[in-house]
Amino acid sequence: MSQLDLITGHITIDSPNILGDHANLLLNDRYVLRVGETLQGPSKVLEPAFRPRNHIPGSRQFFIRFEDGFVWNINQESISHKEATFKVIHDLHQTTLETQLRGLGVTIRVFIPPVSTSEIWTIDLVNQTNTLLVVDLFTSIDFEHGGVMESHAAYDKKAKAIINHTFPYHVSYDDKGWLERTVPALTYMYASVAPKSYGTSKERFMGTNRRGKIPKAITLNTCDNIPTTAAQTAGIMQHRMVLSDHQKTHLHLVIGVALEKDAITKHLSGITDAFVEARLCEAKSFTDGLRQSLLIETPDKAFDHKFNGWFKKQLYNMSVNNRMSAHYPIRNVLQDAMGYALLDPEAALQKLIAILETQTIDGFIQQWQHAKGTGPNGLARLIHSDGPIWLVLTGVAIIEQTGDATTFEEKVPYKDAEPEPIRSHFIRAIRHMAQAIGPHGLCLMKDGDWTDPINGIGREGYGESTWNTLSTIVAIDRLMPYVEDESEIERLKQMKERLTSAIRQHAITKTHVIAGYDDRGHPFGDDSNIAGKRYLNVHTWALMTDMLTEKERLMIQNVIKEMDTPLGPVLIDPPYMDYDPMVGRISLKKAGTTENGSIYNHAVMFKAYAESVSGDPDAALQTILSIMPDHKDNPNRHLQIPSYMPNYAFGLKDSPDFGRSSGHDSTGTTAWIYWVMVESILGIRASTKGLEILDIPATRWPIIRLIRQFKGTTYTVLIRHSDRFAVTVDGIPQQLPVLPYQKTTCHVVVERRVI
């Protein structure tokens, strides 16, 4: 199992024989590597051009051959050695394997330099005996498999590296030129010590298709030193190591991608011990910078390490690296940016502006988009309806994190029209949603709302979404304080009144909130359905509005309670067990997975936000803690490393797999954790007026310390239990909710009532 060290924050793994996902994510903004407990995992290139095929699949083998012919698979990927010690240490900036066998100690370390499309591996060997040790180190790294017409690998004497060329042969004539100029087709493997022999063919190296066998080249104690074409290529090197008693030695391996050979040669010519250590320091400085941007200290040290370090790295990859995807819904980009705005508001604002430029003058914005140089896939051809909503909800939140109200006046062009102020973009988005309504006055569904696999409801153009309607109401409330024109404010109020009336008349019942209506006017998310009787999101988002009576609020809270589990509520209850053409694609998904009845952590965060804005921040805190991958009530908590929030947990409560992590880290959950935790649960809220301290109840934690940056000021905020609400700034009682702006530091004490 993987274990989070509560002192250092490192994650350690003491066996190669574990289940589940225990990989560390090492990254910069151009290159990402997932490395697991046996040092396996893919790497992917994001720049200078994103293409999913630009990655190294990740079969990495490290072998030691002793003089007597005994072979040790150091990372135990294919051959187990019970007598060998084994310890993997994941840190934010590196992963290290420490192991020893037969008097030889080996440490393998890998990290990603901050400005690079490569990974650097260092292999340290130490002779722990009093006699001479002569061993051969064999390293095998699989290159990308380009198929029978693509790959060629050979040793390049000038670069002193094995270089593999893989270029997509299924390209049009017009595409070839720009692909060659922008897409790295070369992968390489370099060693700081010249190899005794080398190989380029995985097949010839192994000599067999069976796993668990000693590779043929190691048995022969030499590689074949020849190139490979039209087969599974690999970078394979043999190094003879002669160690006197207690002597240490090492070598560096650089594995990466490039556009041309000259760039490889230039890069590798400077690989020295000093160069590697300098790049390692830069990698650590990068993750330390993420760590210092927003800090929390609570009685829960495991939570602190995740919040202060591990989850920030996940959020960075979600936002800055666009979830490593060439096709993406703007709702993901915007929500990730909303969370990232607490760490880097200017970077988040640039994400928002880039998305605004794809909005059309009618207020609509295409949900699924694709990166430059790639064509639209199936989802990018669909018309999901919720894009304008997220433009407003996240856009207002991002601008608030900048603290600059003039940003609303910044002019940004439309996809099909001249520039207008950002505020006008938001107003047009609201108008679009409020005018695109169906027979019941609810917002249209089209090919799906936030729950985008519900593509059957509105296939004929008349289906309606309660969630779209509720979230548009929430968006109106968020935008109105920043609208100055009185006539525009009045129009927004009228839109809100019409949508609220439609919700009250056609969605809220005595027992639940209906999720919407299909093209023929039949309800879904209702007792009249066989499956999918309750949808979580329409209940949580109803709690975010001001339309409910106290009786309705209690009814909705009871529905959410019925959908709850020890690990958080399920998204849909009961799930669809068979295909239902009424709702469409969502019913094709296995029951208990993803949107079809899982504990979908992103949606659980909507619940946490609803609880916090409803005046119960402690309930919101408990909701967040319940979905942690290492939560004590999760029967499958050891099947995922605690370094990231998964997309979902398996939701069928009667299944032995209940609670099992999806092992998928692409999720908006992390962004919402930061935003809800800081802004709502702790009540340290950014606004264009300044940093506000909310008068809200205390959480279960008696003392919390938060350090956050806002407009150049570092605020250190101590929150503690009391019998009253009070705020002091640098020892002086503060009456106004907005903290004074200073350009240096500010120490704040917040006392909150325990209810």
Give the residue numbers annotated as catalytic, written as ranges.
452
The answer to whether 141 touches 195, Cβ cutoff 8 Å, is no
Q: Classify each residue of 673-708 as buried b or exposed e, where b means 16 or more C-beta atoms within 10 Å of its C-beta.
A: bbbbbbbbbbbbbbbbebbbbbebebbebeebebbb
Q: Which residues pair with 693 in a beta bridge?
A: 684
Q: What distance lies between CA 360 and its chain's CA centroid?
A: 28
Q: In the chain, helix, strand, coil percent, each to 5?
A: 30, 25, 45
Q: Report DSSP state, residue 444.
A: B
Q: Are strands 713-722 and 745-753 parallel, antiparallel or unpaired?
A: parallel
The answer to whether 167 touches 185, Cβ cutoff 8 Å, is yes
Phi, psi of 92 (to 5 degrees): -60, -35
Phi, psi of 179 (to 5 degrees): -65, -45
The answer to whether 641 touches 1, Cβ cutoff 8 Å, is no
Tokens of 215: 């590779």
Contacts of 698 (CB under 8 A, 6+ apart): 617, 618, 719, 721, 722, 752, 753, 754, 755
Q: Tell me the HSE value of 466 on the side-chain side, using a 13 A CA sphere.
A: 29
Tokens of 154: 């050979």
Q: What distance lies between CA 702 and its chain's CA centroid?
A: 31
**Burial class of residue 345 in the structure, from the number of CB atoms within 10 Å of its CB (0-12 exposed, 13-18 middle, 19+ buried):** buried
The identity of residue 743, as a single letter, is K
DSSP code string of 110-160: EE--SS-SEEEEEEEEEE-SSS-EEEEEEEEEEPP---TTT-EEEEETTTT
In whole angstroms, give the CA distance from residue 144 to residue 155: 16
Nearest CA among 90, 677, 643 for reference residue 313: 643
In whole angstroms, give the CA distance from residue 750 to residue 678: 14
User: Does residue 184 have a cis bond before it (omega within 30 degrees)?
Assistant: no
The answer to whether 661 touches 680, Cβ cutoff 8 Å, is no
The answer to whether 128 touches 100, Cβ cutoff 8 Å, is yes
Nearest CA among 672, 689, 529, 533 for reference residue 612: 672
Task: Give start and end residues of each alpha helix (H) in 579-663.
Answer: 601-613, 617-626
The answer to whether 479 touches 426, Cβ cutoff 8 Å, is yes
